[in-house]
Structures are given as structure tokens and as C-alpha cells.
Amino acid sequence: MTPERFRRITDRYAGLTVAVVGDFCLDRYLEIDPARAEVSIETGLTVHNVTRVRAQPGGAGTIVNNLVALGVGSILPVSFCGDDGEGYELRRSLAALPGVNLDRFVTTPDRRTFTYCKPLLMHPGQPPRELNRLDSKNWSATPPALEQALIEHLKTACEIADAVIFLIQVDVPETGAITRRMLAEIGHLAAKYPDKPMLADSRQSLKGWPAVSFKMNAAELAAMLGRGENMSPAEAARACADLAQTTGRPVFVSMSEHGIVSAEPDGTSAHVPALPLRGPIDIVGAGDSVTANLTTALAGGAHLREALELAAAASSHVIHQLGTTGTASVDEIEALLLA
């Protein structure tokens, strides 16, 4: 990609509106000083002393963080949080981000806020070491009234958005923002807006999803196809082409150290290798950075291979940020891609 083409694409980001639909959560980090460890008089167990607490939007919120880092002008979250302390933190964190419009982000007493609580041991001069995570989730079905409200918000968001991202982060079906009823509506909207970039990622598999662009990792693709995980980039590209012919939209597969492959409905495929490692890595958030960059680049007029190049560079920057769920700005991507 030439510097001129890079700027032509990324200069459009400020004028874009991107909707992010799905499961938002709060990432709460507890930084522990091992030198301050104590022993509980009552239990005899080690007491970890937390010296710093930080929180940021996670799940679909990580995609929002990446869109903000890219300078996307308007971002429309469509989701919910609980009427609880974690929900307050999540909503406050989102509201502090430039360009984020929370008119379609519902606070409800009927759900708890999806939270990842991540204790980190902070040894001087070493990368943070994460201990066992403490999660808070919803285990019952999303109430019908909330479900209907989110569907209506999805419709209005799609009317004005230049691109739409869908993310299922919950493990148990029907407990998050995207349910079977919403999937049916997504199908209608995909047919209504065939030229609008719509990209979906799901921990529950994209099998059975309506005709939007699929974004998966290699393991998820293999599981969808009932094949072994050790697929080559060429095999993944052929599988992408088959899926793209079915959906009528591009399909993307991230393959860790092998980069990213994709295919369009006409059978055209592309493969961009991963950038070399530059030190210790933390892969948390890499997939979300790929999702955000692919969608934004396509909405900004990038061709398929250009979108892959931008996403691969963003992912490379993100995995070298340790102890956090990182992001990549346009300048940071440019420094890697055009170095």
C-alpha cells in the first residue's frame, strides 16, 4: 500500500458512522503488589493487596475502543448493561470516549453487567501475570421487552450507519444482546442494505447466521466445517470462498502467526502474512482490533487486500501491549505498515 492510498482511506474515518451491536462488558483490572502480600489471621490464606484498580469497556466495548483509536467520527453502541456499579463504570467509560453516542445503550435492572475481573501480579521489571479471572455473567434468557427494545435500536442504527459490527461474547445462547429474534432482524437488514459493510464475530459460531460478512479465527472456521484445526492459509482461503458464495459477502479468517485470509463472493481471495514479532506478546484483544479495522477500512473505501493489510498491522501493534486490551491508532498502524 502506498502512503497516498493509506491516507486516502484513513482520512475518511472521521466522517464515518459505525454501529456496534452485541455484548458489552466491563474489563476490570486489579493490580496486585506481591511485596505487600499478607497472611490472613482467620484463614491462613495469602492476602493479595490491590494497589491500583482500572476499568475499561470490554467485549464489544473493545471494538469501540479500537474505533475510537482509529478516529471514527460517530460510534453507535447497541446493547445493555445492568443497573449496578459495574454498569455505572461501563457506561461512564463509554461516555468519556469521543464520538460515542449512548442513545441505544440500555441500562436495565433486569440484567447484571457482564464483567471480567482480572487480577494481575505486578512484579517490577516483568510483564504483568494474570491470576484466575473472576467473571460476572447472566445465566438466564434476555427478557423479551429488552430484546424488542434492542431490535428497534438496531433498526434505527442501521439506517444511519455506514457500517455495522456484530459481536456475540457470551457463551450461553440467548443470554446476551444478540438473540434468535435479533438474528432474524439482522437478516432482514442485511437484505435491505446489501452494499453496507456488516461484519459478524461470535464465540458461539457463525453457523446459521444470516448473510453478513463472517469474521472468524482458524479454530472457529474448522469447527464450523467439521474439520481439523491445522488448516493452511490456502485451505482456509478456499473455505472462505465457499462461504462467501453462500452469504454473498466477504469472509475473513485470522490465522495467528499465518496472518489473515479472505475471499469475496466471486471467488477472489487474498492472504496477508502476519508481521514479525518484536518482543513478548499478549493476544487479548487482537481479534477485536482485526474486526474494527476490517470494517472501518471497507467503509472507508479500501479494497479487500488493503483492508487485510491495515487489520494485520493493527493486530501486530495490539499484541505487543502487555497486561491490557490494547488498541492501534492510524499513526501507529502507519508506522508499522509503511515503515
Show the domains of the chain with their CATH numbers. Answer: 3-337 (3.40.1190.20)
In 279-289, which positions are buried (b, 16+ CB within 10 angstroms) versus exposed (e)?
A: eeebebbbbbb
Residue 281 above 80 pLDDT? Answer: no
Residue 282's pLDDT is what? 64
Mean pLDDT check: name the lowest of 41-55, 198-212, 228-242, 272-286: 272-286
CA dist 56 to 36, 92, 256, 316, Å? 25, 9, 25, 21
Mean pLDDT to the nearest integer, 111-129: 94
Q: Which three cell numbers stand for residue 260?
A: 489473515
**Which helix (H) or strand (E) covers residue 183, if one does?**
helix 180-192
**Which helix (H) or strand (E) covers residue 30, if one does?**
strand 24-32
Nearest to 328 by CA among 336, 338, 339, 318: 318
Please give the share of the chain, as a percent, with pLDDT higher than 70.
97
Residue 275's pLDDT is what? 78
Residue 312 above 80 pLDDT? Answer: yes
Residue 323 above 90 pLDDT? Answer: no
Q: Which three cell numbers stand for residue 57?
A: 469497556
Mean pLDDT to the nearest integer, 101-107: 98
What's the pTM? 0.93
pLDDT tens-place string over residues 49-86: 999 999 999 999 999 999 999 999 999 999 999 999 99
Residue 283's pLDDT is what? 67
pLDDT, averaged across the chain? 93
